[in-house]
Amino acid sequence: MSAVGGGARNMAAVVLRSCSKGFAHILTNRGVATILPNTLGGVRQKSSVQYVTRPELPKLAYRRVKGKSPGVVFLPGYGSNMNGLKAEALEEFCRSLGHSYLRFDYTGHGLSEGVFTKGTIGTWKKDVLFVLDELAEGPQIMVGSSMGSWLMLLAAIARPEKTAALVGISTAADHVITAFKSMSLEVRKEIEEKGVLTVPTKHSEEGAYTFTMDFLKEAENHCVLQSPIPITCPVRLIHGLKDDDVPWHISMQVAERVLSPDVDVILRRHGQHRMAEKDDIKLMVYTIDDLIDKLTTLV
């Protein structure tokens, strides 16, 4: 894991390698400066919404841009959807490079069928695997946001042949389980009696996320941080030090546990959980372009 001191103990920041061709081309011809303003105002040539049917499972809504490999797949966060700023910026970016891009809504999210409150980590993991198996062609760079990064890790373990590289943004691996277990025994008993864990957040209209005990018990089956994580592809983890929802040290824990020799952690001093400011998106695009350049050079 390559890192330089970030001004605080146990913190790491990464100086991204300058790209030999890809990013310089984008800066000169289309530019992150061009991609971002267009994206913030809406993608100029947005892909159309499509639906894929699954036997005895809800239909999934997705948007796809066909192009070169490696493709990019975006995995949104809990309660989010495929139409956020990061997801749209990536479509514009991939389209400009001619690489394939796929974004979709999990079961119960956005335009997909299903009931959100009945969803589990296992449910949404199955969604990701289905998309990789049925909609994505060849190895992909998976980009996960918050819970999407947890699902990204689970998918990479289950489908190493479909995983070219990983980019985690505000990675929330195991987070809801870790948060619950870190509470006092008295508080946990109270939550168990109520049957619901309420987590305050400014990213929900209700001002909080609500997790049932059944959700927590199921999620515990998908925890990844208790042992080495069998992922060997390049991994990039971007996290904001001002993230009030998911602590940045989770990204550090992931970096320490993945088996890959190529792991970079990028900590943004003023970055918040959504990582949707212009400079945050610019860094995300830069990071993915660097990976595309690395992967295509290796080929």
Whether 289 is catalytic is: no
Measured distance CA(241)–CA(107) in Å, rounded: 31
Instruction: Kindly state the DSSP code that residue 16 receives in the 8-state scheme.
Output: P
**Of these residues, 105, 243, 280, 293, which one is catalytic?**
243
Whether 25 is catalytic is: no
Which residue in 141, 198, 151, 203 sits closest to 172, CA to CA?
151
Distance of CA 184 to the CA centre of its chain: 30
> Structure tokens of 159?
């489908």
In Å, the largest CA–CA distance within the chain is: 59
Whether 20 is catalytic is: no
**Of these residues, 47, 146, 170, 251, which one is catalytic?**
146
Is the CB of residue 155 less than 8 Å from the CB of residue 132?
Answer: yes
Q: Could you tell me which residues come within 8 angstroms of residue 282 by beta carbon, excluding any fewer than 6 positions away?
A: 32, 36
**Of these residues, 96, 112, 273, 280, which one is catalytic?**
273
Measured distance CA(117)–CA(125) in Å, rounded: 16
Catalytic residues: 146, 243, 273
